[in-house]
Structure formats: C-alpha cells, structure tokens
Amino acid sequence: MSHKRIPKRKAAIAVGGVAALGAAAFLIPMANASQDNASGATTAAPKTLKATGASDLAAQLQQLLGQAFAGSYYDSGKQQLVVNVVNGDSNTIVQAEKAGAVVRQVANSSKALKTAARTLKAKATIPGTAWAVDPKTNKVVVTADSTVTGTKWAKLQSTVQSLGSNMATLKKTSGSFKTFVSGGDAIFSQVQNGEVRCSLGFNVTASDGSPAFLTAGHCGVAAKDWSDTQGGQPIATVDQAQFPGNGDFSLVKYNDATTQAPSEVNVGNGQTVAIKQAEDATVGTTVFRMGSTTGLHDGQVTGLDATVNFQSETDPNGVDTVTGLIQTNVCAEAGDSGGSLFTQDGGAVGLTSGGSGDCTAGGETFFQPVTTALQATGATLGDGGAAGAGAGAGAGDAGASADPSATAADPSASAGDQAGGDQIGGAADPSATAGDQSGAGDASGTGTGTGTGDQSGANAQSGSSDQSGAAANESSSGNHQSR
C-alpha cells in the first residue's frame, strides 16, 4: 500500500487544532516561577507557585507524607498549593509547611475515598454517570447526565447516600456523556460506515525512535489508518490503543520515518505554544484545550482519577467504563476528541476523551492523563531530536518546530493580541481566551492546512460509535469545523 509523505509544511504545524482567536476572555497573568523563602527551611510561609511548580510539589509531598496525604489542590488566586492531611502529627504538618504548602487537616483519607469509588463501581456503574475525587471538598463527587432517570437515578442516589454525606455528593449535569468525535487538527479515516475524524493530541517519539503522536483511544479503536486530508492516503497507523478500561489513549506512528513532529500546540494564526514537559494535573489549575471544532478554550481541573461510564457505542444495553481520567469544566464538543489539554507554561496534561454539554451551555469534560499514556506506550514527549533538522520548516511554523520554544505561543495572552498577530515575543497566549477561540470554526478552514490535523489523527476517536456516524458527517466538512 502506498503512503503519502506528510508535507513538511504541515508536519511543522504540529499539535492541536487550528483556530482563529476571537474576543478575549479574561487574561490570566503569568505567575512568577517558584520562589523559595530567602531564609530557607526556617520559614513556614507558603511558596508562590506556577501551575507546574504546584504539580511538582504535590508529587513530592505525596511521597513525603505517605498515608497522611489526602490529596491537594492549587489555589490559583493566591498561587499556593493546599495539601490535605489526615491524622497528621505536628511533625508531618511542619514538614509540609516547610516544603512550601498550605496544610489543611481533613476527615477522609485517600484510602477511604478510593474505597468509596470502588463501591460506586460495584453498585452504580450506570451509563451516563461519572465520579472523581475533589480534594477541595475532600469528597467523591458523583455526576449524572440527563439520561440517568427513573430507577437508574434512584439506584445511583441510594448508593451515594449509603456512603454518607461526609464522603460523597451527587449532582446532575446537562446533556449526556459521550466521546467527542473530531478534534484538534483533524485527521481522517475511512471505515465501513463512512469517514471518521479525530484530532491529534501531542507529538511524541515511540520507544523504537520513530515519530508518532498521541490521541484518544476510542479513535484508535475505531480505525487503524489515518490521513491528513479527507479521503486522502494514510500518513499514520495506529500502533497501540486503549479504550474502554484503564484509559482512553492511542499511540499512532507516522508512516514516514523522517516526518518532523515538533513538540508544540498550534493555537491558530500561525501561533504555537511550545510543549516542554508532561505533567500531572492538579485540581484548581487553569488549563487550555485545543480542538478543531471549538478551537481554544480554558477552564480549571476539578477532579482526578475520574471514572466515566459512557453508553456503549456497540451495545445498546452496554456501558463503556473508562477509569483514571482528569475531570474539568473546560467545554468541548463533537470533533474535539483527542485534542490537547495543556498549561500556559507548556505542560502537556491530557487528551480530550469525552463529556457532556457544549461550549454554549458548558458541561463536564474528561481527559486522559498524558503521563499515564506515555508510561503505558513507552513513548516520550516531543520529537526526540529525530525529526530532521530544520525539516519542519515551511511556513513560519516550521521554524517553530525546529526550535519550539522560539515560537512558543503564550496561551494567556489576549485573544485580541494573538489575532492581530501581536504575540508576546511571537508566542501565542492561550489563556487569552480560550473560550472564544472556538470561534475558530475557521480554524477548521485551516483544517486542511495545518496538516496537523492529520497528525491529530489522534482524534480518530470516532472510535465511538457516534463518532463514526457523527464523525463521518463532521469530517465531511473538509474544514475543521465539523459541526
């Protein structure tokens, strides 16, 4: 089978969807890097941290505190990490404070919260439900979509009540939980029911050194070969895919071993955000999501280790349960699957999986942690220097690929600035507004072009049935606005 080599111009555009930046949402100021107290460990004053610093400190304290650690979250207003401690002695508290965190004593241990989640899995695995640990309330938050009614609602309600009001809470959300077909920079695949489309999440280097990208697992399950153009020849092939079960991710290898796959997210108008490292999500952190349908949007991480019960796409009476996801209030719609979730500082956080609602009414959206996907596939973030020197070049973007940081976009900048191309040092600022970027429908216009989309083959998510159906329709619009 002959394969089309991805044009260097497109390859250089890389990760995420293409979208024109619209009116600005509120600008998120750049936080200063972690600042240690001049006096060192003798002072217990909390550190001022950026999101990346908070994530690193949380991981360190989890190791340090052991069983006393009961979760943590980022207070974005004060730029501080708050750590929950259960049954902690004075020495434990002092250690956490000296490390730079704000310590809060809580009632529920991590073990107790995980036990509650296991009870929900055993007794309430109902399509249209989800649950995740919320460290801010020190409880398991259970969410039910609009399809959970009658006896299903009664069963869910009684199960949550049996856990106790101090352990779990129940809420309703509009819409229904489903995987999102299409995504960042669109990619396409021909399947029995037509054509499906997904988005690329992040470019990576596979364990064998070949260029590849990560995308949603339901895309990889839906189709094996992906193209960067509608009806075009395949340019990438699924190597590994996980969905449902313990995750929603796929590793897709480019067929051309010389493909340059720069570590960056394309946020529209030729602007990119350099992706510097993979990092774990922290509740309270502001994150940005890029997708071909709705463009760039921002929000906060609201829960970790989430379990989502999607209605099965293949069995009307079945359920596709996915565990270990990140829960957020960032909106998304069909076509955004597989797209990148990242921080303003260039941290790769997640891959769009699914959720409820839309970018008008809002809703809950879930993401596959990038760190988990990398560990499972054996891949490493970025091109590993294998991309071929400046091959990426081509439109100005390429340059960025050769040196991602050079063109790194600054998400937080105001859309207005980006739009005018008035990037901060040429870098795009996602925070600017992520929400409006969705306006990006045009982005899709770029769809063709950015080739990235193709890379996003990742989103082939269409794996989900509606994906294939919906996706097919979405993809029919050559541009990335699949709606």
Higher-confidence position of 152 and 398:
152
Looking at residue 383, its pLDDT comes to 67
In-domain check, residue 427: yes
Span 284-299, pLDDT tens digits: 999 999 987 788 999 9
Q: Are residues 240 and 208 in the same domain?
A: yes
Looking at residue 321, its pLDDT comes to 96
Which one of 54, 87, 105 terminates a domain? 105
Which one of 105, 120, 135 terminates a domain? 105
Q: Are residues 80 and 218 in the same domain?
A: no
Query: Which residues, at least 6 apart from 286, have a Cβ–Cβ distance to it below 8 Å?
Result: 28, 51, 76, 298, 299, 300, 343, 344, 431
Looking at residue 463, its pLDDT comes to 37
In-domain check, residue 298: yes
**Is 158 assigned a catalytic role?**
no
Q: Where are the beta strands (DSSP E) in 137-226?
A: 139-144, 168-172, 178-179, 186-191, 194-199, 202-205, 211-215, 225-226
Q: What is the pTM of this model?
A: 0.70
Angle at CA of residue 102, ends 96 and 106, nearest 5°: 85
CATH number, domain containing residue 62: 3.30.300
Q: Are residues 344 and 226 in the same domain?
A: yes
Angle at CA of residue 335, ends 334 and 341, nearest 5°: 100
Q: Are residues 326 and 455 in the same domain?
A: yes
How far apart are the C-alpha atoms of 185 and 121, rounded to whole Å? 35
Higher-confidence position of 193 and 210:
210
What's the total number of domains in the chain?
Answer: 2
Span 214-270, pLDDT tens digits: 999 999 998 899 887 778 889 899 999 999 999 999 999 999 998 888 898 888 777
Span 21-68, pLDDT tens digits: 332 232 233 333 333 333 344 446 899 998 888 889 999 999 989 899
434 has a pLDDT exceeding 80: no
**One of 110, 337, 401, 465 is an active-site residue; which one?**
337
**Is 337 assigned a catalytic role?**
yes
418 has a pLDDT exceeding 50: no
What token pair was written down for 368? 């596959």
**One of 109, 185, 218, 442 is an active-site residue; which one?**
218
Q: Are residues 444 and 401 in the same domain?
A: yes
Q: Are residues 94 and 202 in the same domain?
A: no
**One of 248, 383, 397, 417 is an active-site residue; which one?**
248
| Helical segments of 270-343, H only | none
Q: Are residues 21 and 55 in the same domain?
A: no
439 has a pLDDT exceeding 70: no
Q: Are residues 469 and 376 in the same domain?
A: yes
CATH number, domain containing residue 207: 2.40.10.120
How far apart are the C-alpha atoms of 86 and 272, rounded to whole Å? 42
How far apart are the C-alpha atoms of 348 and 340, rounded to whole Å? 7
Q: Are residues 408 and 437 in the same domain?
A: yes
How confident is the prediction for the chain on average, in pLDDT?
A: 74
In-domain check, residue 339: yes
Yes or no: say if 21 and 460 are a contact pair by the CB < 8 Å rule. no
Angle at CA of residue 403, ends 16 and 398, nearest 5°: 60
**Is 218 assigned a catalytic role?**
yes
How far apart are the C-alpha atoms of 215 and 461, rounded to whole Å? 8
Q: Are residues 12 and 46 in the same domain?
A: no
